[in-house]
A and B are shown apart, each in its own frame.
Chain A
Amino acid sequence: MTNKIDIHIWLSQFSYQIKRKVLLEFMMLTSPIWVLFSYVILHVFNFSIISIVGLLGIYCVFVLLLTRTHFYREVNERNILEHLNRQFPQFEESAQLLIVDKTKSSLLTKLQQQKVEALFSQLLKDKEYKQKALGHYSYKSYFIVALVILTSFFILKPFTQFHHWVDTSDFTTANIDHEDNVTPVTLMSQKIMITPPQYTNLTNVDTDTMDINAISGSQVTWKLGFSQPELTYSLVFSNGDEIDLIRENNTFTASKNIAYTGLYQIRAGDEFLSQIYTIEVINDQRPVIRILTPKLTITELLTNAQPIIETQVQVSDDFGLSKVDILASIAKGSGESVKFRDQVFEFDRVKKIPSVTQQKAALINLNEYHKSWNLADLGMEPGDELYFTVRAWDNQSPEAQQTKSITKIIRWLEDSEQAAMADGVLINFMPEYFKSQRQIIIETKQLIADSELLTKAEFSETSELLGIAQSELKQKYGQYLGDEFEGFPNANASEEPAHEEEHSEGDDHDTHEAGSGEDSHESEHNHEHAHQAETNNTNEGVQSAYDAVIAEYAHTHEDSDIGLMGKQDPVALMKRSVANMWEAELYLMLSKPEQALPYEEQALKFLKMAKKAERIYVKRLGFEPPPVSEQRRYQGELDEISSLSQSQFIHISTSDYQKLSRAFIFLNQNSLGNHVSIESELTTNQRSLLIDVKELLEQQIEGRPALIEFIATIERILLANHLILENCEGCVVNLRNKIWQIMPIPKAISSPSMSHGDPRETLTLEYINQIKLNAEQAIKVKNIQGDETKEKK
């Protein structure tokens, strides 16, 4: 039994060995294929751990499957014993008897069993026999081939990227692309803290947006986390600055004070991350000064007016004002003796106005300043001038920004200065006469009011005195208008001295549109149109004296000095005023103050208008010399004058418009849905075009920091080298739209006709039409003639 058990144990061991041999042989047989297969798989998956583990797993499965094959299962006791019979003829085909139960076998069988058992024991002891039973391993050559192939892969490395598992320092390789095997660095976390300058009183801002929008001078602190903390990182700015990010645990921090709009990128080791970020800096604006009063640049103060001028100014700033004052200059004297004195003044009072918020900057500081100028206190006298300008500083630190307003002028007029200039003639508005006209009106009104209280003689006398005063005033103004006062043409016209004045031919009698008294005046005028009445003044009684007075003082229509009757012409207005004074004087002398009053008021009105009349100066653009007649030309010595010839080539550089236009067209290809591949790489020309546009935008960045977004888009396009940008949908379209917006209206260019007919075609058509017309006419004539012939017949 013990032998049986030994035999079975041995057989099982031997069976195991055989099976192992079978497996190994099969593995060797398939080893070249497996090597090739494994290499391909590992290459595809970049020799990653997962691929290796997977491959091993597949191999194990393959091996397991192998054990299920019938080749493998055939290795059993019976087949082994049969195999022993084949290998050892000594067994005489009786090896199977080893496992037969002796008790049940015959004598002969038992004898044979004993013989076989003895042989078997010998087999167990002899290694050679054992080896013979097992047999040699086949397919070794296949295994050698597999080893050779594997070795060649290590040496030659066909399209291999497994160098990172192997030290490649001894290998000379060229242009191996590392990128596919390098995991790109990604920004895992970002936190930006923006601390505005203290003077702005703005609160700190924490954000996780890498695009920064801050006030100039803000301190920006970055706290970033990356996927590969072992690398070194820095921030590179578009103005050339670079700051290193300092590692604190797994966070990288950096700080910078920003003063310029620009772009920045993150550098990881030697390479840049693909994303570009913008920094948009909002500059602190200068204070804004608005002078509410005085409104006009030059304010004139009459001599006798109260020399007090009120000044009201609004000053605003985005963050605050530090100081506001007035810089004044006082000019005393005139001509060569003028002296200037500068002085700084403060405002009398300040009033804060509630804040007004606009889009980005809050006008939180709007103050109203008041000052009352007493010119006398300043030591000024009539004829002096005060020039003042308001200065304001904001609270920017370290250096405040200053704004100056326009200069206002306060002119304290002297008596001689109250004049109006018209056509080179100075019309002097003397205050007393101006007051006199007003005084005449006041006194006329008083006279009308007192008419019932006064006697007839007193009433007439007062009225006549007013008439005289009106006449004197009229004379004074009339002198400037070319009126002549030579006395009355008819010396006998009247005994009353008030009537001795006469008309002058220069009087303007055309302005009869004055007021309500016109109708009655017109009816009187209808009687008296001729100056001839002046010559026939006799003592014919009240009627004729009345007529004489009328004739003396009535207007004639002969002289129509129309002049320039422009609305605002001072001369015309003065003439109207004088004309009304004539009428007023007439009625005052006739003791009809109520009829004179409207004319007096009209005269005053036109006086005021004349004083305020605007003068329009038309600047002549260019100088057109008067044409010189041919006779007068070239009268000098002509010997040394020779013909000259000049040649010039004007280099037409690409204008800003052309650059923007081309860039727009290029970017528009994408959005019009055209069949142009936007994935194709940028050509050299396209790149230089985009660079030009970027430079144009950079020129405007100072005043328009919002353009930084579009500069960033251009940078991204240049980096990517095509129009498709990751994580930036609509960027290219926005850039295109912005370019369209800033593109100026193009200048008109010259060109031959585009739409009008070719003159050759026009002439041809005319010729053909004429021929047709002639032919039709000929036919008509022929028909008519034919009809006539028929009729005759």
Chain B
Amino acid sequence: MMLFGSNWLFASFSTLHYVIFAFSVVFLVITCVKVWQRYQGKSAFISSLLCLVNTCAVITMLLLILPIYQQNQVSQQAIVITNNCDEQLLQQAVERYRLGDIETFFVLVDAPEQRERLQGYFKQEKMLPDLVWLTSSYQLQNYHLGKSLSNRQHLENKLKFKALYVYGDGFTKEQLTHLDSATSSLRLYYFPSKPMLGVVDVKWSQEVLLGANTSVSGTLQSSNMNSLYLVELVDVNNDILVQASLRANERFYFEFVPKATGINKYWLNIREKSSDKLLVQETIQLNVILGDKLNILVQTASPSFEIRHLKNWLAEQGSQLTLISQTSKNAHLTQTINTEQQAKTTIDYLSLENLANVDLLILDSRSVVAFSQIQQQEVMSAIKKGLAVFVFIDDALIKPHQPNALINFFQTFTSFQSETDININKPTGIYLQHNTGSSANERVLIPSNIRLNNKHGDNLVINAEKQPLVLSQAYGFGSVTLSAINSSYQWKLSGLDNDYGQYWQYLLGLLIHSQDSLSWMSKAHKPILFPLESTRLCYRNEGESIRVEQRAVFNSNINSDKASNNATTPATPLVANKLIEREHHYCIDWLITTSGWHKLSLIASDITKTMDADIANSVETFIYVSEANQWLALQQISKRRATKLKALPNQSNEHTNEDPTINTLNYIKVPFNKWPIWIVFISCCTLLWIERKIA
């Protein structure tokens, strides 16, 4: 509906227009004088009439040539229909539109089937001509009335909305940010849609180590609070790995071990429990990677089963190991596995220079006690520079010993005492502190009889009474970890190889950090990304300048030959910005355009090497982007949350709800109908011509 306020002409003339106007006036005067002279003494009436007709012709000519508009009042309120509007909401919107002073009715729906449904509905309501179908929210910021005008006039008629009535899922955070920046003091009234069935707040790690326990957690969303649903995680064979029976708003936590290296695809199915009908299916994709080999130095005063089994486990994976075991007062047995390092003396192994190449130093208590001062200093220095130290504790730390800087450091974050109560040598549950959520983490072992008391360290492993069994403290760039568990090998002997491997994988993953000069930093983006979203990725580079490339990866074997992947898809260079306040820290704001797996590579260019060599030495990370038609419930809830946050609270659909404090009227320039002017102009010209003919 058009509001017709003060309906007066408004013209914006340029110099040319003024010149034309001046010429027209001069022409009019001259022609009128000529007419007057011609009919002088004959008929003043005819000459007056002719002048009048002449004047009409000039005026109408000017009206046709000059840019003259009509100014109308329009409302700056609009209704926006977004995804998942049901019939009730649509009725409310239509009612508001019809009864309220709303200028425009927008429909911003991207799903084709929903658009079809809405078309059918509005056709029934006979509102199709009133609708404005949008394909993006950007059009809301730049909505122009009167599209048939010229470009300049079009731009001048840009309508800035002050109030929007949003029905349905609402807008995304990015859309709202853009709307805010384009329109100041925009008031949003939000009428949300019903929650659709699906999984929200879902979280899983896209990149996992081989053999690691992976978790998928989320919340079931549904508008039906009473129905029971089966949420199951299925694999490529459609075998159900985990299943849970849930109601709306209940959380689930699934744990499983992905089987293959490379891309593993799983599905999250939601079924109605009563009918077993599949209602929703979402895809979960992860990339299982093989870890890096480690370089570990072990020094013990006596052999132990724990070290032996740990050595075997690490050696099987190709890690480099050096084990030094004291065999006599001044004699040692040195074993090197998977390394070509030449044999050194014990002192040399514990030198700062050698420890710089070591990822983890494992000691037992007696070795620590027996350290010389130089060794203590070297180890402490190495820890500050990034070495991780792991100590199996026993009574040797409690008994009287020589002053020891390492032990003094231990005592800054913990204290030791021997267990004397009845719990000595009793099996206890072992919980991995940083693997939250599931009780499946519980394992049973008999810890040593030393009790650790945490002062301000980090509990890595605790028992059933929440007492620390493995405790860590950062020091400089490295860390020191004390372990009261020295019999994890019993899991291996009992056939619980997986438990054993996952325990050490967990510990080593927490303690050892990559010290590469070029590396990707941990990803802080949302667990699920969609096309046309932006995400920030950061990396650390201490070396020369590098280039960053992104390419879509189609090959499911994304851990295989890097060159073959690169050969198939073109790379897109990305621009990185160095962060202020950070040295060597760079970030990329990557706008995602397509779904699927994407590989981002950090390539250090070296002119002495070939391009393939550069590629082979690049540091890569893989990110999966879901398709726009996946995770619809998640998309809905994020829109609802973002819109609710922005919207005014407690809205009902009363059409008298408009805020009287807002001046929601605006004026726009509208071209007026020139057809009558043409008719008059032609008529005047015809009359003048007839007159000349008769004359």
Docked pose: A669 CA to B560 CA in angstroms: 13
Contact A643 B333 (CB under 8 A): yes
Contact A748 B513 (CB under 8 A): no
Confirm or deny: A647 has a beta carbon within 8 angstroms of a beta carbon on chain B: yes
Docked pose: A736 CA to B474 CA in angstroms: 46
Chain B residues 537 to 591 lying within 8 A of chain A, measured CB to CB, are 540, 554-557, 560, 568, 581-583, 585
Residues of A within 8 A of B339 (CB): 647
Docked pose: A672 CA to B558 CA in angstroms: 13
Contact A755 B502 (CB under 8 A): no
Nearest-CB residue, chain A, relative to B540: A758
- Of B205, B334, B494, the most chain A CB neighbours within 10 A belong to B334
Picked from B265, B396, B476, B556, the residue with its CB within 8 Å of the CB of A669 is B556
- Select the stretch in A134-142, A268-276, A619-627, A724-732 that faces chain B: A619-627
Interface string of B338-363 (1 = CB under 8 A from A): 11000100000000000000010000
Confirm or deny: A764 has a beta carbon within 8 angstroms of a beta carbon on chain B: yes
Residues of A within 8 A of B292 (CB): 751-752
Contact B291 A752 (CB under 8 A): yes
Docked pose: A762 CA to B582 CA in angstroms: 12
| Secondary structure type dominating chain B contacts | loop
Contact A740 B211 (CB under 8 A): no
Picked from B366, B474, B522, the residue with its CB within 8 Å of the CB of A755 is B522
Docked pose: A748 CA to B519 CA in angstroms: 23
Residues of A within 8 A of B498 (CB): 745, 747-748
Picked from A646, A668, A754, the residue with its CB within 8 Å of the CB of B509 is A754
Residues of A within 8 A of B478 (CB): 759
Docked pose: A743 CA to B288 CA in angstroms: 15
Confirm or deny: A16 has a beta carbon within 8 angstroms of a beta carbon on chain B: no
Q: Given A643-B331, A643-B334, A747-B501, decide whether A760 and B209 contact each other with a Cβ distance below 8 A.
A: no
- Select the stretch in B33-41, B254-262, B631-639, B674-682 that faces chain A: B254-262
Confirm or deny: A249 has a beta carbon within 8 angstroms of a beta carbon on chain B: no
Residues of B within 8 A of A747 (CB): 210-211, 497-498, 501
- Select the stretch in A38-46, A501-509, A597-605, A648-656 that faces chain B: A648-656
Picked from A648, A668, A761, the residue with its CB within 8 Å of the CB of B335 is A648
Smallest beta-carbon distance B251→chain A, Å: 21
Interface string of B282-304 (1 = CB under 8 A from A): 00000000111010000000100
Residues of A within 8 A of B557 (CB): 665-666, 669
Docked pose: A746 CA to B366 CA in angstroms: 36
Contact A752 B508 (CB under 8 A): yes
Confirm or deny: B156 has a beta carbon within 8 angstroms of a beta carbon on chain A: no
Contact A621 B522 (CB under 8 A): no
Residues of A within 8 A of B18 (CB): none
Confirm or deny: A750 has a beta carbon within 8 angstroms of a beta carbon on chain B: yes
Contact B209 A749 (CB under 8 A): yes
Contact B386 A761 (CB under 8 A): no
Contact A753 B509 (CB under 8 A): yes
Confirm or deny: B394 has a beta carbon within 8 angstroms of a beta carbon on chain A: yes
Instruction: Give the contact-size bracket for chain B.
Output: 35 or more
Nearest-CB residue, chain B, relative to A655: B316
Picked from B236, B263, B291, B583, the residue with its CB within 8 Å of the CB of A750 is B291
Smallest beta-carbon distance A115→chain B, Å: 94
Confirm or deny: B124 has a beta carbon within 8 angstroms of a beta carbon on chain A: no
Q: Given A643-B331, A650-B316, decide whether A751 and B291 contact each other with a Cβ distance below 8 A.
A: yes
Smallest beta-carbon distance A709→chain B, Å: 15
Confirm or deny: A741 has a beta carbon within 8 angstroms of a beta carbon on chain B: yes
Confirm or deny: B428 has a beta carbon within 8 angstroms of a beta carbon on chain A: no
Residues of A within 8 A of B328 (CB): 634, 638, 641
Residues of B within 8 A of A642 (CB): 331
Contact A622 B581 (CB under 8 A): no
Q: Given A650-B316, A750-B319, A759-B513, decide whether A622 and B490 contact each other with a Cβ distance below 8 A.
A: yes
Residues of B within 8 A of A764 (CB): 582-583, 585
Confirm or deny: A369 has a beta carbon within 8 angstroms of a beta carbon on chain B: no
Q: Given A650-B338, A760-B477, decide whether A672 and B294 contact each other with a Cβ distance below 8 A.
A: no
Smallest beta-carbon distance B262→chain A, Å: 5
Contact B509 A756 (CB under 8 A): yes
Confirm or deny: B114 has a beta carbon within 8 angstroms of a beta carbon on chain A: no
Smallest beta-carbon distance B312→chain A, Å: 9
Confirm or deny: A337 has a beta carbon within 8 angstroms of a beta carbon on chain B: no
Residues of A within 8 A of B497 (CB): 747
Nearest-CB residue, chain A, relative to B314: A750
Confirm or deny: A676 has a beta carbon within 8 angstroms of a beta carbon on chain B: yes
Q: Count A-B contacts at CB 8 Å.
A: 212
Residues of B within 8 A of A755 (CB): 205, 509, 522
Picked from B313, B513, B521, B583, the residue with its CB within 8 Å of the CB of A752 is B513
Contact B334 A664 (CB under 8 A): no
Contact B554 A644 (CB under 8 A): no
- Of B205, B262, B540, the most chain A CB neighbours within 10 A belong to B262
Contact B262 A665 (CB under 8 A): yes
Nearest-CB residue, chain A, relative to B585: A761
Residues of A within 8 A of B501 (CB): 747-749
Nearest-CB residue, chain B, relative to A673: B554
Smallest beta-carbon distance A652→chain B, Å: 5
Contact A741 B477 (CB under 8 A): no
Contact B335 A646 (CB under 8 A): yes
Residues of B within 8 A of A756 (CB): 509-510, 513, 522
Q: Given A634-B328, A674-B554, A675-B568, decide whether A646 and B522 contact each other with a Cβ distance below 8 A.
A: no
Residues of A within 8 A of B359 (CB): 752
Picked from B337, B494, B513, B581, the residue with its CB within 8 Å of the CB of A649 is B337
Residues of A within 8 A of B205 (CB): 755
Contact B235 A740 (CB under 8 A): yes
Interface string of B415-427 (1 = CB under 8 A from A): 0000000000000
Confirm or deny: A536 has a beta carbon within 8 angstroms of a beta carbon on chain B: no
Q: Given A661-B259, A768-B581, decide whether A746 and B487 contact each other with a Cβ distance below 8 A.
A: no
Contact B329 A634 (CB under 8 A): yes
Nearest-CB residue, chain B, relative to A751: B291
Docked pose: A633 CA to B209 CA in angstroms: 43
Smallest beta-carbon distance A772→chain B, Å: 10
Docked pose: A752 CA to B585 CA in angstroms: 20
Nearest-CB residue, chain A, relative to B478: A759
Interface string of B497-523 (1 = CB under 8 A from A): 110011011001111111000010110
Residues of B within 8 A of A622 (CB): 305, 487, 489-490, 493
Smallest beta-carbon distance A774→chain B, Å: 15
Smallest beta-carbon distance A756→chain B, Å: 6
Picked from B210, B334, B336, B490, the residue with its CB within 8 Å of the CB of A749 is B210
Interface string of B307-324 (1 = CB under 8 A from A): 000000111111100000
Confirm or deny: A757 has a beta carbon within 8 angstroms of a beta carbon on chain B: yes
Contact A752 B509 (CB under 8 A): yes
Chain A residues 584 to 624 lying within 8 A of chain B, measured CB to CB, are 621-622, 624
Smallest beta-carbon distance B573→chain A, Å: 22
Interface string of B262-290 (1 = CB under 8 A from A): 11010000000000000000000000001
Confirm or deny: B641 has a beta carbon within 8 angstroms of a beta carbon on chain A: no
Nearest-CB residue, chain A, relative to B339: A647
Interface string of A348-366 (1 = CB under 8 A from B): 0000000000000000000
Smallest beta-carbon distance A343→chain B, Å: 40
Confirm or deny: A209 has a beta carbon within 8 angstroms of a beta carbon on chain B: no
Knowing that A638-B331, A646-B334, A759-B477 are A-B contacts, what are 6 other residue pairs whose CB atoms are under 8 Å apart, sorted by A's residue number?
Answer: A644-B334, A645-B335, A672-B263, A746-B257, A750-B291, A764-B582
Listed A/B pairs (20) with beta-carbon separation below 8 Å: A622-B493, A624-B487, A633-B329, A634-B329, A638-B331, A641-B328, A644-B327, A646-B336, A661-B260, A665-B263, A668-B260, A745-B257, A746-B261, A750-B291, A751-B291, A752-B291, A752-B513, A753-B511, A754-B208, A759-B474
**The 3 nearest A-B residue pairs measured at CB:** A751-B291, A748-B501, A748-B211
Chain B interface (Cβ within 8 Å of chain A)? 205, 207-212, 235-237, 239, 257, 259-263, 265, 290-292, 294, 302, 305, 313-319, 327-339, 343, 359, 366, 386, 394-396, 474, 476-479, 487, 489-490, 493-494, 497-498, 501-502, 504-505, 508-514, 519, 521-522, 540, 554-557, 560, 568, 581-583, 585
